[in-house]
Amino acid sequence: MKRIITALLLATVMISCAESEMESNPAVPTLKNAYEDAFFIGTALNRSQIFGQDEEGVQLTKTHFNAISPENVMKWENIHPEPGVYDFEAADRFVEFGEENDMHIVGHTLVWHSQVPGWVFEDEQGNDLSREALLERMKDHIDTVVGRYAGRIDGWDVVNEALNDDGTYRESRWYEIIGQDYLVKAFEYAREADPEAELFYNDYSLEVPSKRDGAVRLVEYLQENNAPITGIGTQGHFSLDWPSMSDVEQTITDFAALGIDVMVTELEVDVLPSASGYRGANISESEELREELNPYTEELPDSVHQQLSDRYAELFELYLEHSDDITRVTFWGITDGDSWKNNFPVRGRTNYPLLFNRQWEPKPAYDAVIEVAEQHSAE
C-alpha cells in the first residue's frame, strides 16, 4: 500500500511539473501563447470548474486560456433568484479565479429573455409590471450585479439574444412591457454601474444574412441613441458544414464597419447530424433522441476528426486574417464532456465539438489550431 501511495504521489508531482513547464515555457504550444499577439483565447466555466471540483479542467483553463466567461452562474435565475435575494458565492469565486490567474474576465449575462424568473416581470399580485416599474427592477439588478464587480470584470454581455432568426425583435417580456428602448436603458444602466467596463450585445446565428442585417440595425439603433455599446459577440455555434466561410467573414466585416469590437463568444463545432435542419441556439428547441442522430457513442472516427480539424483550421485562419477587428475568441466549454451540445437540441447524445476530449486530452483539432498560429507567425 505504501508503494502505491508513493507511486501516486510521484505521478501527481510529475504531472504538476509538466503542467508548470507548459505554462512557463513559451516554446511549448498552448492556445493562449499561440494567439497572444492576435486576440484573447477564452473558455466558459461551469460550476464544477469554478468551485475547483474539476481539477483537470481547472488546470487546462490555467494553461491554455487567458479569458473566461461564466456558463450559467451569473444568469438572473442563479444570481438573483428571488426579490431582494442575491447569491454571489459562485460569481465571486469565478471573478477571484480570473483575478488570481491574470485573465480577461467577462460577465454573462445581464438582460436575457431566458433563465429569468417569472417574478421579475410581475407585481405582488401576479400582474404585469408597468414600464416604469420594470425599468426600475432592471436598473436595480444591473446596479447591484455590475456594481459589485466594478473595476474587476472587464466586459459584460449586457443584452443577450434580442432578435428572432429573421432579424426582427424578439417579443420578450422586456420588449413587450418596456418597448424597444429596453436595449438602450440596459446599456445606460451598465455604464452607470461601471464607467470603465466594455459593454457587448451578444447573439447567435448572425451568419444568417437576415439576422445579421437585423443585428446591424440593432447596433445602429443603439449608437443613434447614444447607448454605450463597445462590442458585439457572435456566438459561433457552428457545425461541420454550416455556416459558409463567406458568411462568417461577412459577419466580422459588417460589424467591424460599425466601429465596434467583434468577438467570437461561444465557439464550438457540432459534429453530429442535424435533427431537423435547425441551426440556431434557441434553448427552447428540442428534438427526440433517435439512433441515427447519435452515431458516435463510443468514439469519433478518424475521418470525422479530420473534418473537425479542417473546420477549425479554416475558422482560425479567417480569425487571424481579421485579428485587427477581433478582440476575443471564446470556446463554449473546455472539454467535449462539458459541452451543452451533448444535450441540445437532442438530449443524451455524445458530441465532440471542442478541442479537448473527455479525458482532458488535446484532439487533432487542437493541433490544427496551433499549427494555423505557427504558420501565421512564420509568414
Catalytic residue list contains 249? no
- According to the model, what pLDDT value does residue 53 have? 98
Domain 28-378 homologous superfamily, CATH: Glycosidases (3.20.20.80)
Phi, psi of 329 (to 5 degrees): -125, 115
E-strand spans in 212-308? 231-234, 237-239, 261-270
- According to the model, what pLDDT value does residue 289 have? 73
6 CB burial (10 A radius; 0-12, 13-18, 19+): exposed
Of 161, 188, 198, 207, the active-site residue reads 161
Q: CB–CB of 339/268 below 8 Å?
A: yes
pTM above 0.95, yes or no: no
Q: Which of 324, 209, 191, 330 is nearest to 259 (CA)?
A: 324
The domain spans of the chain are: 28-378
82: helix, strand or coil = strand
- According to the model, what pLDDT value does residue 28 have? 65
Sign of the Cα torsion 148, 151, 153, 158 reads: positive
41: helix, strand or coil = strand
User: What cell numbers appear for 318 in the block?
Assistant: 479567417
Gap between the Cα atoms of 200 and 115, Å rounded: 19
Catalytic residue list contains 19? no
pLDDT per position in the chain (379 positions), as tens?
444 444 444 444 334 444 444 544 455 689 999 999 999 999 999 999 999 999 999 999 999 999 999 999 999 999 999 999 999 999 999 999 999 999 999 999 999 999 999 999 999 999 999 999 999 999 999 999 999 999 999 999 999 999 999 999 999 999 999 999 999 999 999 999 999 999 999 999 999 999 999 999 999 999 999 999 999 999 999 999 999 999 999 999 999 999 999 999 999 999 999 876 656 665 556 577 788 899 999 999 999 999 999 999 999 999 999 999 999 999 999 999 999 999 988 899 999 999 999 999 999 999 999 999 999 998 8
Of 188, 207, 266, 268, the active-site residue reads 266
